[in-house]
Amino acid sequence: MHLDGFFVNALTAELNKAVAGSRVEDVYTQDNNLVIQLRAPGRTQRLAISVHTHPYGLYLTRERGDKTATAFDQTVKKHLRGLFCTALDNPPFERKTTLAFAPAPSGSADFFLHVEIMGRNNDIILCRGDTILVSTRPPHREGTRNLQPGDRYAPPPPPGKMPPQNLTPEVLKMLLHNAGSSAPDAVLVRSLLGMSPHLAREICWRCNIAEKNVQALCDADIHLMHREIQTLAQASLQGKTKPSLYPQGPYWTELLSLGTAPRPGASLSAILESWSTRLRTSQSFDAGKKQLLAAIRARIIKLDRTIAKQQAEKQRALQAEYFRQIADTLLAAAHNIPRGAAEAVLTNVHTGEPVRIDLDPGKTASGNASHYYKLYNKYKTALAQVNAQIHKNREQLAYMATLEYAAEAAETPAELQEIRAEMEEQGLLRRGSARSRTPGDEQAFLSYLSPHGHKVLVGKNNRQNEILTLKKADKSHYWLHARHSPGSHVILCTDAPGDAELEFAAAVAAWHSKARNSPKVEVVWTQVKNVKKIPGARPGMVQYSQYKSAFIEPRLPSTGAESPEIPGTVRR
């Protein structure tokens, strides 16, 4: 959803009642919004005005986040601080609001802050009289209007649509009949000022003509449409609102056509703030998740390349035995090799096959043999070292895969924070200027109920997996995990599960794994007492014994999830 002209009418009227007569105390930027702090007798209010349309902001905010200063807000502050906001006004049904400021509450306004809701960005323009002092419009933005400091302010050109309050049944009938075979809602959007697609669909739904085209409309339909348009237009102009917050966004009145019950709000300002905060949190979460996954995947790529290089080193190190054979062959045939020879073709004393051997002309046969013995000893030692390095890096790669799965599955900022804190502790990320909080036992596991009423607890990341399995779970209960795939540790809280309960918990373990989209996932299970942490290993890395396994279809339990389970509730 977006703010249409009907919404802006009602919002401007609401804000005018709230802030008219208040004095400007401060101006700053917060969460990419321009915030004007206003003082009235007995209260301080903060009016947030966004520069961006996603999410759009023109509302009173209760948030007291971090203040930042920009050249724009400091210029606005320089001119407006100490002045009184005398009025907020907008041309009816246009997406434009003007704030007027004067030296006294009832004085004549000298300064005007124009907020234009335009396309991809909003323009915020501060004027003294009609002379622009500062503007958010980029200097080289395409368009016919000049909105740079020193220019004369001119409002946006008229959109060429009819104001809804001036519409008559006869004009509406003409507009509809001249529209060919169009849908009625499309005609309303094209013809009426301030009309958005969702409001046009709502009008048609209320008039029971949503499935008709304009040629099928009778006079009764048109009169009903006109009456509904006028009712909504007058309600918008008079500020008769029903603030409603839908999953799609906020709106100034109820939209029955959506078929969804809205969450009512105390005011339009309140639902706009709620929606903006939700979108901002979601955008911040998405950006943080993308950044964390990029860091994890960069390390995975680096490890893959390192292992490939080490495999090449291993192949060279495997030649150690060949160098010993060459050295033995040279010593056995030393009397047949002339001094100064650059190569020799001899019979390998170990295999009996002919072999061509490169020689150093400056060395004797025994000197060349000594050289090959040194290569043998070098590569024999290197083979053990490179095997150890490959093993270590493969373990690291497996660990990074668990982090990647946890980050992909994370659904809240707190879960991302747990993963980030773990990576910082493991030296995989540099600590920021603000030290990441180390999550403790207050973090919640996922919790389900088995068919027989036993809890099935699920860790959401490596840290939770380790706490759940090694610290909180009863040793006689059952541990499950997707085999050969990163995933969650799952605890079935019973010491005598039946086949149905094991299958239920195994399906949960398969679902909470990176192999979720596979038709079948191999899941292992054993009692918790058989699961041990690998000495010196990363968080969540365990080894298990005395296990059984089966291939299970990943699925969410039909019984649904309980509320999150807090560590410490699993009793021994």
Q: Are residues 21 and 120 in the same domain?
A: yes
For residue 220, list its beta bridge partners.
Answer: none
The predicted model gives 306-330 an average pLDDT of: 89
pLDDT higher than 60, residue 436: no
Q: What is the pLDDT of residue 53?
A: 57
Q: What is the pLDDT of residue 442?
A: 44
In a domain? residue 126: yes
The DSSP code sequence of 391-445 is HHHHHHHHHHHHHHHHHHH--SHHHHHHHHHHHHHTTSS---SSPPP---TTSPB
The predicted model gives 469-476 an average pLDDT of: 95
Residue where a domain terminates, one of 118, 135, 152: 135
Q: What is the pLDDT of residue 279?
A: 86
Q: Are residues 123 and 29 in the same domain?
A: yes
In a domain? residue 184: yes
In a domain? residue 547: yes
In a domain? residue 208: yes
Q: What is the pLDDT of residue 360?
A: 93
DSSP tag of 469 = I
Q: How many CB atoms lie within 10 A of CB 400?
A: 23
Measure Cα distances from 186 to 167, 179, 201 in Å.
16, 9, 9
Q: Residue with structure tokens 């955008």?
A: 283
In a domain? residue 437: no
In a domain? residue 359: no
Task: State which of 169-183, 411-425, 481-495 shows the largest mean pLDDT.
Answer: 481-495
| CA–CA separation, 116 and 53 (whole Å) | 10
Q: Are residues 130 and 207 in the same domain?
A: no
CATH code of residue 189: 1.10.8.50
| CA–CA separation, 533 and 344 (whole Å) | 56
Beta-carbon-side half-sphere exposure of residue 7 (alpha carbons within 13 Å):
30
Q: What is the pLDDT of residue 567?
A: 38
Q: Kindly report the backbone phi and psi dihedral angles of residue 132, in degrees, each rounded to the nearest multiple of 5, phi listed first.
A: -75, 130
Contact (Cβ atoms closer than 8 angstroms) between residue 79 and residue 99: no
Q: Are residues 463 and 511 in the same domain?
A: yes
Q: Are residues 128 and 172 in the same domain?
A: no
pLDDT higher than 90, residue 556: no
Q: What is the pLDDT of residue 566?
A: 37
Instruction: Please tell me the total number of residues recorded for the chain in this structure.
Output: 572
Q: Are residues 453 and 508 in the same domain?
A: yes
Q: How many domains does the chain have?
A: 3
Q: Are residues 113 and 17 in the same domain?
A: yes
Q: What is the pTM of this model?
A: 0.70
- 569: pLDDT confidence band, cut at 50, 70 and 90? very low
In a domain? residue 486: yes
Q: What is the pLDDT of residue 55?
A: 58
Segment 441-458, tens digit of pLDDT: 445 899 999 989 999 999
Contact (Cβ atoms closer than 8 angstroms) between residue 37 and residue 26: yes
Q: What is the pLDDT of residue 317?
A: 80
The DSSP code sequence of 490-520 is EEE--SS--HHHHHHHHHHHHHTBTTTTSS-
Q: Are residues 126 and 214 in the same domain?
A: no
Measure Cα distances from 272 to 54, 200, 265 in Å.
12, 21, 9
Work out the percent of the chain whose per-residue pLDDT is above 90: 71
Q: What is the pLDDT of residue 441?
A: 45
Q: What is the pLDDT of residue 172?
A: 95
Q: Are residues 185 and 128 in the same domain?
A: no
pLDDT higher than 80, residue 440: no
Q: What is the pLDDT of residue 52?
A: 67
The predicted model gives 519-534 an average pLDDT of: 96
Task: State which of 26-35, 118-127, 311-320 shows the largest mean pLDDT.
Answer: 26-35
Q: Sign of the C-alpha dihedral, residues 10, 14, 15, 16?
A: positive
Contact (Cβ atoms closer than 8 angstroms) between residue 446 and residue 496: no
- 131: pLDDT confidence band, cut at 50, 70 and 90? very high
Owning domain of residue 33: 5-135
Residue where a domain terminates, one of 222, 242, 264: 264
- 433: pLDDT confidence band, cut at 50, 70 and 90? very low
| CA–CA separation, 193 and 156 (whole Å) | 14
Residue where a domain terminates, one of 240, 264, 288: 264
C-alpha dihedral (52, 55, 57, 60), degrees to nearest 10 = -150
The predicted model gives 297-301 an average pLDDT of: 96
| CA–CA separation, 569 and 493 (whole Å) | 11
- 322: pLDDT confidence band, cut at 50, 70 and 90? confident
pLDDT higher than 90, residue 309: yes
Segment 245-258, tens digit of pLDDT: 998 899 999 999 99
* Mean pLDDT for all residues in the chain: 89
- 560: pLDDT confidence band, cut at 50, 70 and 90? very low
Q: Are residues 19 and 125 in the same domain?
A: yes
pLDDT higher than 90, residue 130: yes
Tokens linked to 136: 């958010």
Tokens linked to 170: 């006869």
Segment 345-377, tens digit of pLDDT: 999 999 999 999 999 999 999 999 999 999 888
In a domain? residue 121: yes
Q: Are residues 13 and 120 in the same domain?
A: yes
Q: Are residues 26 and 128 in the same domain?
A: yes
